[in-house]
């Protein structure tokens, strides 16, 4: 078995969350390939350009899109939540890579965790806020 040089390469990691999605992201020096749960990023995100741009946008902001491979373990939620959690994880990994990256990423809003999540359904209501029709008489 041939030894790989992954042990000697620098690996930077970050965790991103959005809605109910969690993405554990690792940045490895490479060519800019995106791999999510062992699949090619294009295939996993169903060739949706919006999701692909969102996932890679922190790297593009810093001009590093062809310098690092993105390895992601994503779970929970749907594709939108996962793509945006990947974006946060990549931004956090880039801050770990070089603390000087923090300022441009912060101004673009990539380091801000989006706190919006689905509101729970309350009893006596049809949905979280939708009430049954009110009849006075």
Flag whether pLDDT at 55 surpasses 70.
yes
End-to-end C-alpha distance for the chain, whole angstroms? 81
Helix pair angle (49-62, 79-97), 10° resolution: 10
The pLDDT, as a whole number, for residue 3 is 45
Instruction: Give residue-wise pLDDT tens across range 83-110.
Output: 999 999 999 999 999 999 999 999 999 9
Alpha-carbon distance of 119 to 67, in angstroms, equals 40
2: confidence class by pLDDT, cuts 50, 70, 90: very low
3-class secondary-structure state, position 120: coil
Instruction: Give residue-wise pLDDT tens across range 59-92.
Output: 999 999 899 999 999 999 999 999 999 999 999 9
- Quote the pTM value: 0.87
Instruction: Give residue-wise pLDDT tens across range 16-47.
Output: 999 999 999 999 999 999 999 999 999 999 99
The pLDDT, as a whole number, for residue 5 is 54
What residue spans define the domains of the chain?
5-108
The pLDDT, as a whole number, for residue 1 is 42
Mention the CATH class of domain 5-108: alpha beta
């Amino acid at each position: 078995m041939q030894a790989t040089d992954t042990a000697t390469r620098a690996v930077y990691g970050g965790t991103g969350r959005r809605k109910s999605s969690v993405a554990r992201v690792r940045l490895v020096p490479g060519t800019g390939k995106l791999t999510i749960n062992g699949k090619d990023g294009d295939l996993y995100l169903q060739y949706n350009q919006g999701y692909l741009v969102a996932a890679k946008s922190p790297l593009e902001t810093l001009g590093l899109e062809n310098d690092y491979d993105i390895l992601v373990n994503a779970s929970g939620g749907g594709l939108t939540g996962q793509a945006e959690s990947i974006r946060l994880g990549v931004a956090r990994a880039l801050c770990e890579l070089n603390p000087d990256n923090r300022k441009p990423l912060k101004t673009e809003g990539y380091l801000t965790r989006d706190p919006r999540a689905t509101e729970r359904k309350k009893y006596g209501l049809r949905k979280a806020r939708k009430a049954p029709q009110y009849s006075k008489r």
